[in-house]
Amino acid sequence: MVKHMTWADRLRGGLQKTRAQLNQNAGFLGRDLRSYTRDEGALEDLEMALLAADVGGPATADILRSVQASRRPDLLAALSDALIEQLEPPKQEPAAGSNGLTPWFQPRVKPSPVEPAGHVVMVIGVNGVGKTTTIAKLGQHYMEHGKSVMFGAGDTFRAAAGAQLEVWGNRLGVPVVQGKEGGDPAAVAFDAADKRKARGTDLLLVDTAGRLHNQTNLMQELQKVHRVIGKADAGEPAEVWMVLDAVTGQNGLQQAKKFNEAIALTGVVVTKLDGTAKGGILIPIVRELGVPIKFIGVGEQADDLQPFNAAEYVEALLAQ
């Protein structure tokens, strides 16, 4: 009998390359961190490991300061706390335990759904990050959590994109609003938003054409799509999520900054974490974009895209 892999199993497996990178650059991470003190040598090794994992200089400096100042008795807990703080700053004071501290990792049985702020999510990103497939996975996720879903095929420049989204729609039983090949993507977005409102569908996911951050005319078109959705349905899109390929690392982050300047992001979906040794890129994404990570992907299957939880991520990253 084949054992069903839990999300925790898939996440640990997906972060294997990043974990190996940490161990390669700081061998003590592969051992029992509870036996390590925060001496100068250990902190230097930790600094090298974090930088190699694409955590970035500013965040690494902050993490080291937090580790040094921590009241935790061992390095594992101190490091875990520091990483979680970078990925998901606490919104409230933790409930005190016997020593005034909370456990550094509290696993969940099943990831809880990410509740969009409104009814329309506009999905953007550069070419090749897998936006269309990600939209399909998001659609399946929300349907499993009881939401009615629609797709808007706003990538009218690439015929295959609309066809691909239609295939996914047929497979999932999700209606897809299409336009003419080469037509105005804003018109498709308007039509999709108008139909979602009329039908009372819970969630509309709008695909957009892949574009580079330095293509001014295409970025302006993205802004137009955003505006016309609001004309069809006031207050929408309430969410703008950018799909980032983790393999692109810092390059992808710089692209995201330009997108964020053109159209304010409300969240990021990070895919292909299983294909990179630099999974630490999630930290500078949160720090420098100032928006939360909504979902992460560690494989090709639909279940390999799940809501992001900082504690789960750190536990998988530092799995002993």
Residue among 228, 36, 12, 193 at smallest CA distance from 107: 12
Between CA 44 and CA 196 the distance in angstroms is 54
Residue 128 in marked binding region: yes
Residue 23 in marked binding region: no
Residue 208 in marked binding region: yes
Amino acid code (one letter) for 171: R
Residues 6+ apart with CB under 8 A from 52: 21, 22, 24, 25, 277, 278
DSSP string, 21-36: HHHHH-GGGGS-GGG-
Residue among 315, 317, 314 at smallest CA distance from 86: 314
What is the phi/psi pair of residue 3, to 5°? -75, 130
DSSP state of 129: S
Residue 210 in marked binding region: yes
Contact in structure between 295 and 113 (CB atoms under 8 Å): no
The angle formed by the CA atoms of residues 126, 127 and 131, to the nearest 5 degrees, is: 80
Between CA 229 and CA 30 the distance in angstroms is 50
Residue 182 in marked binding region: no
Residue 126 in marked binding region: yes
Contact in structure between 19 and 317 (CB atoms under 8 Å): yes
Residue 131 in marked binding region: yes
Per the structure block, which two tokens stand in for 35?
């036996």
Contact in structure between 151 and 168 (CB atoms under 8 Å): yes
Residue 42 in marked binding region: no
Contact in structure between 285 and 267 (CB atoms under 8 Å): no
Which strands make up the sheet holding 149-154, listed edge to edge?
A: 176-177, 149-154, 203-208, 120-124, 239-245, 267-271, 293-297, 305-307
Residue 276 in marked binding region: no
Residue 273 in marked binding region: yes
SS3 207: strand
Residue 64 in marked binding region: no
Between CA 29 and CA 81 the distance in angstroms is 15
Binding residue numbers for GTP: 125-132, 207-211, 271-274
> Annotated binding residues, as ranges?
125-132, 207-211, 271-274
